[in-house]
Amino acid sequence: MHRCYLYLLSVLWINASTITALNPIVIKGQKFFDSVTKEQFFIKGVAYQPRGSSQTINDPLADAAGCARDAPMMKELGANVVRVYEVDPSKDHDACMKSFAEHGLYLVLDIATPTFSINRKSPAYDLTLYDAYRSTVSTFAKYPHLLAFIAGNEVTNDKTNTAASAYVKAVIRDMKTLLRHSGGRAIPVGYASNDDEFIRDSIKDYFVCGEDESSHADFFGVNLYEWCGGSSFEKSGYAARTQEFESYGKPVFLSEYGCNLVRPRTFGEVEAVYGPQMTQVWSGGVVYEWTQENNEYGLVKIANAQAQPLTDYHNLQKVLKAATPKGITMDEYQQQANTPACPAISENWKASTNLPPTPSSGACRCMKDNLGCVISDAVLQSSSNTTIGSQLDTMCGLVKCSDISGQGESGNYGAFSFCSPEDKLSWLYNLYVNQNKNDNANPATCDFNGNAQKVTAKRNDVDTCSSIKPDMDGIQHSSFSMAGTTFTTSSLLLLLTFAFHLFWV
């Protein structure tokens, strides 16, 4: 009988080790740690967003054949992380994620895309963005080797658009709240910045400041390209950047690096990134990028569905495999709390510490149900949204728009600033009619040249709409199938423990 239990134990152990070979990564203070071994984790990453001849960005994690081709080469490169910039949450990613897990590769995933992202010139955070971000986070939270989410990449990139950071920080707050609400593991959510000399100090402090820790970035990435050719730790500015982050309370890593002004690249910075000059402060970095594209940063060239290593691949492999960063164990590490003061509003920094509200579809429905004049069916059925845009501009010149607009600099956000343009226009039509319906000289009617129509309001409680909570459902938890039965990681561990006791009793 003991032999039978031993067989059961071995089967369970083989399945567990095969599927959960990568332990979730956790954060303590300024560092990443393996949650099981408690060893410090250093990112040896590569940016992965193949675009091909069309140069259009698509979902590389839905290309099972591409992932199966590239994952072994990434492992041979010496990488342990891939950073992906865009995915389609509606597609199947299991095959790619399995390929990465089998080759020891964690995923750092950007949740914004060119279609769904904060516009730095005219920032807004609405239901469409919230739902898109929530969908991506919900889809990928189930993978134990999902290392982290990046809520924004260089959204604020100079002193002219710093107010956009208030909107990105709101996204961080909401995705962290969504993950916490789900009851799953605490997956880090952070930000990746460029290195602009006028805002570098303010932006790194802004994303980790304030009393509301739920809005703090869990880590901060820097896209740093100053080490070119035969540069040095001091000459490249890496020494100065390292000094600036010495007392930073969160993990910081190079979310992109690999200047290509001098080619082929020899990646001299790798020795510094994973050596004693930087490992006390930095947690590694992500080389840009895997495939050869028009910008000529590639490590490999894809042709006829085959990957050919380029000179940069071999040069990076030589130094990356030789890099053996010396860390500290999680138990030995003494965390030092350090929350900086939020940067003051200045000529170079204009992001308010008051953040936009979490978009709530229930609040927008409630608002619309309180209206007696709404956008017409003809406008809703039109294939062009130019009418809505021009009408919003026109109406904002006739009535106040504070209820449907927001300002990242002043920190003032209307109760319905996150609703759709259609609902916002309905709000303005209704507001104008109510304010001018008793004008004896020119009483307002619900028409607006056919763009509006009169309806019967379903509710009379608009003041309560803003209190309706946002949707926080949808997170999938980690699970896998074995012999036709689905197990969560915790249930498998219980089975292992049970079998172990049966064998030894």
Please give the positions annotated as active site: 154, 256
Please tell me the distance from the alpha carbon of residue 330 to that of residue 27, in angstroms, as a whole number: 9
Q: Which residues is 307 bridged to in the sheet? A: 302
User: Which DSSP category does 35 fall into?
Assistant: T
Q: Can you read off the two tokens belonging to residue 21?
A: 């070979």
Q: Are 200 and 240 in contact (CB under 8 A)?
A: no
In which element (H, E) is residue 170 found? helix 164-182
Q: Can you read off the two tokens belonging to residue 434?
A: 């109510």
Apex 467 CA angle, 466 and 470, nearest 5: 90
The residue type at 453: Q
Counting every residue written for the chain, the total comes to 505
The closest of 34, 44, 22 to 279, measured between CA atoms, is 44
Q: What is the dihedral of CA 61, 63, 69, 74, to 10 degrees?
A: -20
Tell me how far the alpha carbon of residue 2 is from its chain's centroid.
49
Q: Which residues is 303 bridged to in the sheet? A: 306
Please tell me the distance from the alpha carbon of residue 25 to that of residue 147, in angstroms, as a whole number: 6
Residue 89 burial class via C-beta count within 10 angstroms: exposed 0-12, middle 13-18, buried 19 and up: middle
CB atoms within 10 A of CB 377: 9
Residue 424 burial class via C-beta count within 10 angstroms: exposed 0-12, middle 13-18, buried 19 and up: buried
Beta-strand pair 189-193/220-223: parallel
Please tell me the distance from the alpha carbon of residue 444 to that of residue 466, in angstroms, as a whole number: 27
Q: Are 419 and 360 in contact (CB under 8 A)?
A: no
Which segments of 329-467 are extended strands (E)?
373-375, 406-407, 412-413, 452-454
- CA distances (Å), origin 426, targets 17, 56, 113, 126, 447: 56, 36, 29, 16, 11
Q: Are 168 and 203 in contact (CB under 8 A)?
A: no
